[in-house]
Amino acid sequence: MTEKAWMLLLEGAWVTLWISGLASAMGLVIGLAIALLRTARIPVVDQILAVYVSLARATPLVTLVLFLFLAAPTLGLSLDRYAVAIVALTINTSAFNAEIWRTAFLNFPRDQQEAALASGMTPATMFANIMLPQMIITSLPGLVNEMTFLLKSSPAIAIIGLVDLTRVTNRISAVTYEPLPPILAAALIYMVIISVLLKLQSLAEKMAGRLAM
């Protein structure tokens, strides 16, 4: 592995990281919004969102990427490859995050909600000050697991020509005719990124635990 090859791999890793990171951040917010709307039990809205979540979770990510990449122009949407990748990853992760958030909401102790409302809090204040902090604590392991899963699924974006870590690995292998070194290097980079995510999860859980005390 030459220095140039390592630089190309790191550049590809950066593309993978920022696209996955942006999609994860948007997926967290959208997933929370979906969960809140579904728990509100508005019949038509709940049914539409249930279909969205089911379809997004059941559709393979590579299929979703190709569908958006090929279908967007026919619908009059001019999306470049980066936009397609971000939208596809966001749709995918928001559906899984929605179920994680919804489970945390449904499992939240009913007596705490009743006590907060009885003390004069509005539903919005109760949610922001009491429910959401505790939901974040209980949902954190699942949300981080979803982030790591999304990162490991992100090679699907290479199919539309994005020069991510997987595509760079394939290019180096094709030029050097030695596939093993770049594959091992890419695996090492993925392991480092995921290890950092898991470490951040552990630190966040400790901080959240202290705040909850």
User: Which residues, in sequence order, are CB contacts of 205 under 8 Å at separation 6+?
Assistant: 137, 140, 141
Reported as a single tens digit per residue, the pLDDT across 54-102 is: 999 999 999 999 999 988 888 888 788 999 999 999 999 999 999 999 9
Reported as a single tens digit per residue, the pLDDT across 160-192 is: 888 788 889 988 888 888 888 889 999 999 999
Q: CA-CA distance, 36 to 206, in Å (whole number)?
A: 26
Average pLDDT score over residue span 150-158: 90
pLDDT of residue 116: 86
pLDDT of residue 213: 54
Q: CA-CA distance, 100 to 92, in Å (whole number)?
A: 13
What range defines the domain where residue 94 resides? Answer: 3-212
User: What token pair was written down for 49?
Assistant: 């969102």
pLDDT of residue 110: 87
Q: Which of 67, 37, 65, 68 has its CA nearest to residue 53? A: 37
Taking the model in full, what pTM does it have?
A: 0.89
User: Which residues, in sequence order, are CB contacts of 199 under 8 Å at separation 6+?
Assistant: none
Q: CA-CA distance, 185 to 77, in Å (whole number)?
A: 37
Q: Is the pLDDT of residue 7 over 70?
A: yes
Q: Is the pLDDT of residue 22 over 70?
A: yes
pLDDT > 70 in the chain, percent: 97
Q: 3-class SS at 206?
A: helix
pLDDT of residue 54: 96
Q: 3-class SS at 80?
A: coil
Q: Which of 147, 149, 153 has its CA nearest to residue 64? A: 153
User: Which residues, in sequence order, are CB contacts of 194 under 8 Å at separation 6+?
Assistant: 148, 151, 152
CATH number at residue 160: 1.10.3720.10
Residue by residue, DSSP assigns 124-182 as HHHIIIIIHHHHHHHHHHHHHHHHHHHHHHGGGGGGGT---HHHHHHHHHHHHS--HHH
DSSP code, position 78: -
Reported as a single tens digit per residue, the pLDDT across 134-150 is: 888 888 888 988 999 99
Mean pLDDT in the chain?
A: 89
DSSP code, position 119: T
Assign 4 a pLDDT band (cuts: 50, 70, 90).
confident
Assign 209 a pLDDT band (cuts: 50, 70, 90).
low
Domain count, the chain: 1
